[in-house]
């Protein structure tokens, strides 16, 4: 019964991809995966076309997603909150009410490179290559997360 939340800034580029990729790798129907943004600029919008495109190329459909903002109640609803970069991480930690909330927040690339605190770079202002790169990083991280979930339920 693992509940995972992927968080970036806008919830239109990186975290929708992370949500879609992880969902495609997890086979336990009791696991839930969602995504949110620390900023509210794109609430209600579909993922960025470039994220939709790179996901589709990898046989993942993320077109049914709609951007929402991270809320305090997410600390109660989710077991693991994966931030895409250090800025997202600090923003979420800043909203934590207690130590237990803080312990749920992790940098997603620390799954691949433990303790290195690396960012999934924000691809919003760049071109398609940035999205390809982001996809690759998230695919690796989600593979590791999914293996743990598929093993432990």
Report d(CA 25, CA 147) in Å as an integer.
8
Report d(CA 116, CA 107) in Å as an integer.
9
The correct pick among 4, 5, 6, 14 for binding ligand 4NP (CB under 6 A) is: 14
The correct pick among 102, 124, 132, 133 for binding ligand 4NP (CB under 6 A) is: 124
Q: Please, which residue, 11 or 31, has the CB nearer to ligand 4NP? A: 11
Token pair of 44 as six digits: 């209600």
Question: Where in 22-61 is the site for ligand 4NP (CB under 6 A)?
Answer: 41-42
Please report whether residue 9 would count as binding ligand 4NP according to CB under 6 A: yes
Cβ neighbour number for residue 80 with a 10 Å cutoff: 18
Region of residue 11 (phi > 0: left; psi between -120 and 50: alpha; otherwise: beta)? left
Please report whether residue 19 would count as binding ligand 4NP according to CB under 6 A: no
Q: Please, which residue, 28 or 86, has the CB nearer to ligand 4NP? A: 86
Burial of 133 (0-12, 13-18, 19+ CB in 10 A): middle
| CB-CB contact of 12 with 88 (8 Å) | no
| CB-CB contact of 8 with 15 (8 Å) | yes
Among the listed residues 85, 91, 122, 142, the single catalytic one is: 122
The correct pick among 10, 18, 23, 75 for binding ligand 4NP (CB under 6 A) is: 10
Q: Please, which residue, 16 or 26, has the CB nearer to ligand 4NP? A: 16
Minimal CB distance residue for ligand 4NP: 10
Please report whether residue 122 would count as binding ligand 4NP according to CB under 6 A: yes
Residues that bind ligand 4NP (CB under 6 A): 8-14, 41-42, 122, 124
Residues marked as catalytic: 8, 14, 122
């Amino acid at each position: 019964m693992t509940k995972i939340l992927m968080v970036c800034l806008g919830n239109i580029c990186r975290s929708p991809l992370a949500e879609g990729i992880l969902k495609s790798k997890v086979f336990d129907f009791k696991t839930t995966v969602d995504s949110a943004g620390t900023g509210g600029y794109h609430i209600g919008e579909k993922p960025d076309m470039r994220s939709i495109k790179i996901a589709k190329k990898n046989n993942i459909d993320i077109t049914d997603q709609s951007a929402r903002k991270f809320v305090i109640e997410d600390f109660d609803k989710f077991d693991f909150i994966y931030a895409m970069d250090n800025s997202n991480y600090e923003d979420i930690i800043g909203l934590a009410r207690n130590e237990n909330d803080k312990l749920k927040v992790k940098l997603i690339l620390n799954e691949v490179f433990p303790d290195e605190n690396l960012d999934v770079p924000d691809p919003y202002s760049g071109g398609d290559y940035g999205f390809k790169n982001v996809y690759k990083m998230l695919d690796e991280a989600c593979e590791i997360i999914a293996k743990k979930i598929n093993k432990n339920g």
